[in-house]
Amino acid sequence: MLNILITGGAGFIGSHVVRHLVKTYPDYTFVVLDKLDYCASMHNLTDIMECRNFRFLMGDITNVDFVNYIMKTDNINVVMHFAAQTHVDNSFGNSFAFTHNNIYGTHVLLESAKNNPNLKRFIHVSTDEVYGETPMTSEEGYTEGQILNPTNPYSATKAAAEMLVTAYAHSYKLPVIITRGNNVYGPGQFPEKLIPKFCMRAMRGEKLPVHGDGKAVRSYLYIDDVVEAFDIILHMGKAGETYNIGTKKERSVMAVAEEICNVFGLNKEETIRFVEDRPFNDCRYFIEDDKLAALGWSEKTSWEEGIKKTLAFYRDADGWWKKSLVTEALNN
């Protein structure tokens, strides 16, 4: 029997994963620890709040005593660590918060896990951005053995957290697994991210802000495919390994903006507005997912289907987050 602690479980990816696992594995118990930061929402967990194998705790992963308490009282034997500050733009202006949450918070969890003799898995959720920029001319993506080369404060904190995870695996024989994923989109994502921001601004008849020249490309995975990946990694992943969760289908920021305009019947020239780029903006992140594919995973959701499901959510998302926070996110 697995007793699973999921940090950041009221956030976008974490909540989708926990809802799937709670419903699919009734013999497992799940504890979600989330401090309900601006981008999280209890609405993400509404349909499992009454499930007997689920418990929600509001709290911070940097609280040493609280984390230790949960580990012991709930007999935790698996940790799935999603909690993090993730918005790259914010990391340029408030980098200390990223260091505190992403590095120190991970360190607290590792220290607690180190003292847990029943630990079977520590799944650390990282990002493709730790690899740094992929050359635009490259036809092959980065594999899990690539040397890390983060280029912004956010990815630097995620890479540093990975170093801690790896060090604890070596020093204390912790059964760790690291995942590095592409950009994820779908229902329930706070509209500071590109796709939900474009969807909500388009619905309001507002301009779509494109950083720089819009030529930067990203690989977008629909959330249901990512959930399946974590299910497979939880049950079939090998301790000590790293798994990329990626897609070969790339789109430029400009192409995404144009497709959203097409969906809403908006004039592209009038709707798309070019804005000042970040201090540094990687043009491309491209990764290989052969290791995960060998476990049986594959991308199943087409871009068209994923966008259709995502738009359906945002058309009826009023009240999902505080209105003032949404307005601030859409205007930044």
For residue 87, pLDDT over 90 is answered with no
User: Which tens digit of pLDDT belongs to each residue from 90-115?
Assistant: 778 888 999 999 999 999 999 999 99
Averaged pLDDT for residues 256-285: 88
For residue 227, pLDDT over 70 is answered with yes
**Among 154, 168, 243, 314, the one annotated catalytic:** 154
The pLDDT confidence band at residue 280, using thresholds 50, 70 and 90, is: low
Averaged pLDDT for residues 121-144: 95
Over pLDDT 90: what percentage of the chain? 83
DSSP 25: -
The pLDDT of residue 148: 97
HSE of 329 in the Cβ direction (CA atoms, 13 Å)?
Answer: 22
Here the tokens at position 319 are 């009240």
**Among 34, 60, 129, 192, the one annotated catalytic:** 129
Contact in structure between 11 and 39 (CB atoms under 8 Å): yes
Averaged pLDDT for residues 57-77: 98
Q: Which domains does the chain show, CATH number per domain?
A: 3-184+220-245 (3.40.50.720), 190-218+249-285+300-331 (3.90.25.10)
Locate all alpha helices (DSSP H) within the chain, ordered by sequence: 12-24, 64-73, 88-93, 95-98, 105-114, 153-172, 194-203, 223-236, 253-264, 268-271, 290-293, 303-314, 323-331
**Among 60, 128, 289, 299, the one annotated catalytic:** 128
User: Which tens digit of pLDDT belongs to each residue from 179-205?
Assistant: 999 999 999 999 989 999 999 999 999
Does residue 129 have an active-site annotation? yes
Q: How big, in percent rounded to 5, are the helix, strand and coil portions of the chain?
A: 45, 20, 40
pTM metric for this prediction: 0.95
The pLDDT of residue 48: 98
Closest by Cα among 157, 179, 164 to 110: 164
Does residue 154 have an active-site annotation? yes
